[in-house]
Amino acid sequence: MKEKSVLQLFPGSLRPLFEGVAKRCFDLSEIRIRAERPVMIYRRGKEYYLTEKGEEKLAEANKTPDALCLETGQVDNLFSYLCQYSPYAYSEALKQGFLTVTGGHRVGVAGQAIRTEDGISGIRNIRFLNIRISHEIKGCATSVLPFLYEKETDKVHNCLIIAPPGMGKTTMLRDMIRQISDGSDVHRGSVVSVVDERSEIAGCFMGQPQNDVGMRTDVLDACPKAFGMEMMLRSMAPEVIAVDEIAVREDVETLLLLLHCGIRVIATIHGDSLEEIMEKPYLHPLFEALYFKRFLLLGERYSACLYDEKGERLV
């Protein structure tokens, strides 16, 4: 299934070259395509280049003798194909520099920015594509899940997932959402609203989640977090709201509003430690009121440390 979704990213003329890459998609993280430059493949932190025969070879500095280099026209065609020949329909996403395609994979784009008085209105002459392969790791949140529920009420604790980039915050959040939404023999399922500003959690393609986010989950895709959380609060009557990467004051203000309303929140944030997060001034209102009862710190390979509001380690 995953293999097919990776292969589907390429038009027929390029498919034979990417068949091998797609077959080993289980550890594939990125495919970087640059016009007239070698196609690079990233797996488990290692960098490979793709040969003209479709084989992967470990990249060493600037030595890529038999590398496959796509021509400008081929990159253009690949981009059009990924957009289903309708780039206009993705104009809002392209302003942010990415689009989400079938399978929930994200394609970052770069080229020539079109500047207007209001900022960047789009990108033309797209010559650089970064295809980030979406990975779902079902069950990665299982070990922490029992500690996320209040014993008396069976409601979910407000939880903040903290980790540096690339440590699996979104993957962990996605699995938490799925399990909280579906419920289990021990815990009932809850109605979860996801505000997925960058289409990374649910990986929506044409509004349809490509990742399993549970049977009681509603997704608002490609909407700014602060605005989206308020919308979901008004429209979908959620028990839990989940958002990725709290980064600005407006997000915190809206989170406070939700917490005042009794909505449970699961959010992620960039950071190396709990102390570092606590020092961020714009987060002070959240911590002062002791709203968050669980803090999940992620390390290498989804290793997780769960703390309670007193800083005591639970897992």
Partner 1 sequence: MKWIGFLLVLAGTCGVGFSLVGEYTMRIRVLSQIRDMMHYINDLITIEYATLPEAFRKAAERMEKPFSGFLKRVSDRMDDFSGEDVSFLWKHSATMLKDVMNKKDYQEFLGCMKQTGFSDAKGQSRALKAYEQRLELQLHQLSEQKEEKCKLYRTLGIMSGVFVCILLF
Minimum distance from CB of 57 to partner 1 (Å)? 25
Residues in contact with partner 1, shown as a per-residue x/- string from 91 to 120 under the rule CB under 8 A: x--x-------x------------------
Q: Report if residue 29 touches partner 1, rule: CB under 8 A.
A: no
Cβ atoms within 10 Å, residue 287 = 17
When binding is defined by CB under 8 A, the residue of 38, 122, 238, 271 that contacts partner 1 is 122
Among residues 8 and 308, whose Cβ is nearest to partner 1?
A: 8
Tell me which of 12, 165, 166, 262 binds partner 1, using CB under 8 A. Answer: 12
Which is it for the CA torsion 234, 175, 163, 314, positive or negative?
Answer: positive
Smallest gap, in angstroms, from Cβ of residue 196 to partner 1?
Answer: 19
Q: Which stretch binds partner 1 (CB under 8 A): 12-20, 28-36, 171-179, 233-241?
A: 12-20
Among 120, 137, 206, 290, binds partner 1 (CB under 8 A): 206
Closer of 134 and 171 to partner 1 (Cβ): 134
Residues in the interface with partner 1 (CB under 8 A) total: 24
Least distance (Å) between residue 221 CB and partner 1: 14
Q: Binding string to partner 1 for residues 52 to 91, with x set by CB under 8 A, is what?
A: ------------------------xx--xx-xxxxxxx-x
Is residue 8 involved in binding partner 1 (CB under 8 A)? Answer: yes
Residue 32 CB, nearest approach to partner 1 (Å): 20
CA distance 9 to 3: 10
C-beta of 88: minimal distance to partner 1 in Å? 4
Residue 295 pairs in a beta bridge with 160, 307
Asked whether position 215 contacts partner 1 by CB under 8 A, the answer is: no
Applying CB under 8 A, which residues contact partner 1? 8-13, 15, 76-77, 80-81, 83-89, 91, 94, 102, 122, 124, 206
